[in-house]
Amino acid sequence: MWTLLHLKYQRHIKAGIGGPGGKQKSSGADGEDVTIDVPLGTIVKDAETGEVIFEITKHDESRVLMKGGRGGLGNEDFKSASFQTQRVAQPGEDGEEGWKILELKVLADVGLVGFPSSGKSTLLSVVSAAKPKIAEYHFTTLVPNLGIVGHREKQSFVMADIPGIIEGAHEGKGLGLRFLRHIERNSMLLFMVPADSKNHLKEYKILLNELEKYNPELLDKQRFLAISKADMLDEELMKEIGKELKGIPHMFFSSITGFQSSTTKG
């Protein structure tokens, strides 16, 4: 399970209420539990205050979101020295009610960061078995896609194709706040700027700026710049772009042809 889409149209979730107590020493049954399955990285917030209640970060982790109603006490519990025979039992209790917000922050080893149509989905589809939607228009990717990338014999890591960011994303433009939160849980960031960008350095700095304004701690993550769609470039153009990126570790690659240059430390 990688998304919360299965809960999109299930806004009301109700557990059972406590059953009433009865005669013959019978206490009421507790209300039946309801378990909500969520992917790792899910955060639960109070809808009124926005306070984070807890987050799910471990496989098979289980937390109580809302307490259900207890079953009512049976007649035996109301017995006393004065009243040995009791005909009174307690009704069951209602459970807690309230609104909670569930948000997902994707957990991955490598997060792909770039403008829309920078080649992130294509790269993920080539290096993993993931099949993200790919098209030549903005915001093809509306939810993160995860892929398992195999390397060095039997080792692997998780790569996340994060929906494209645009300038002003930290202010919510282009669903920016919805997309930026997924970057927080990635161990390292692979910035992608396409070869046909009008200004590679400027685009890279815009991406850095958006991350910094959203959460300055994101710039503490290990990061690397890759110029995608390099099959559009010849060697001379790569050298020109390399001069433009002086001081920034980078490389050129093409998901289509499989070309990749050596890493330039800047």
CA distance 218 to 185: 9
CB 176, CB 164: distance < 8 Å: no
Q: What is the pLDDT of residues 181-208, one digit of tens each?
A: 777 778 889 999 999 988 999 999 999 9
CA distance 106 to 145: 9
CA distance 104 to 98: 20
Residue 91: predicted pLDDT: 58
User: Packing angle between helix 200-214 and helix 235-244, nearest 10 degrees?
Assistant: 40
CA distance 126 to 69: 51
- The number of helices, as runs of H, and strands, as runs of E, in the chain is 4, 9
CA distance 230 to 161: 19
User: For residue 224, is pLDDT > 90?
Assistant: yes
Residue 174: predicted pLDDT: 44
Q: What tokens appear for 34 in the block? A: 């309801």
Measured at the CA of 136, the angle between CA 132 and CA 139, to 5 degrees, comes to 60
Virtual torsion, Cα 192, 152, 109, 117, nearest 10 deg? 20
CA distance 94 to 79: 24
Q: What is the pLDDT of residues 9-55, one digit of tens each?
A: 777 888 766 655 445 555 556 667 888 898 888 889 988 888 889 98
User: What residues contact residue 82 under an 8 Å CB cut-off, 6+ apart?
Assistant: none
Q: What domains can you pick out in the chain, each with its CATH number? A: 1-104 (2.70.210.12), 107-252 (3.40.50.300)
Query: Which segments within 91-144 are labelled E, that is strand?
Result: 100-104, 108-114
- Distance from the first to the final alpha carbon of the chain: 40
CA distance 195 to 266: 17
Mean pLDDT for the chain overall: 77
pLDDT band at 252 (very low <50, low <70, confident <90, very high): very high
What integer is the mean pLDDT of 49-62?
Answer: 88
